[in-house]
Chain A
């Protein structure tokens, strides 16, 4: 158990819908990263938040957005869902993330299925 929790574990929805994935980082970790794992694209970095502020964006679609709240939990919002958004979404947390390396601890993931 990494200490990172993600809810829900599984999510099945229809095209065009909107969903919210939630991540609670390890106690004391200030950074939250979101990654998407799909069969065709592999594991891709989506976005990084540090202490409530967006730090870096990767291959995140405009239909997707995220935020990190004052209690440091993070939510990833996916809207206008398409079949191709079906994937495993991972959240990872680390202590820092401001230029020095800190191990990223991964949550168990949320499996999103868009029908």
Chain B
């Protein structure tokens, strides 16, 4: 069974500082991995995805994530935080090879950006 663990339910950074949101996964087959962002009172928006191509994945809004198989990790980073980055971030995994693609989500990390 697949699962996702996000370390830290709440991360607070200063504007302009590095953003690092941690995600570790467990999967019995090579997974597809995703980061989604949820702004208040909105649905989820895909930030970036890893689908077995390049291990360093670039997404929207300056975010990127690196797939590290040896560490079973897919941490999300952004060099310089902006106030507009304040939101809830979800890491998710999908075992595409099983024939269907429902997503398994982590518990989420709330990012606060301090001016």
Question: Which B72-99 residues have a C-beta within 8 angstroms of A?
Answer: 90, 94, 96-97, 99
Contact-residue bracket for chain A? 20 to 34
Q: Residue of B at shortest CB range from A96?
A: B101
The count of A-to-B residue pairs whose CB atoms sit within 8 angstroms is 61
* B41-68 near A? 1/0 per residue, CB < 8 Å: 1111110010100000000000000000
Minimal beta-carbon separation of B57 from chain A (angstroms): 13
Residue A7 CB within 8 A of the other chain:
no
**Distance in angstroms between the alpha carbons of A30 and B26 in the assembled complex:** 29
Across the interface, do B43 and A101 meet the contact criterion of CB distance under 8 Å? no
Across the interface, do A101 and B102 meet the contact criterion of CB distance under 8 Å? no
Given contacts A42-B106, A42-B107, A45-B104, A90 and B97 within 8 Å (CB-CB): no
Q: Which residues of B contact A (CB under 8 A)?
A: 32, 36, 41-46, 49, 51, 90, 94, 96-97, 99-108
Query: Nearest 7 pairs between A and B by C-beta?
Result: A106-B43, A43-B105, A45-B102, A106-B44, A56-B100, A42-B107, A108-B43
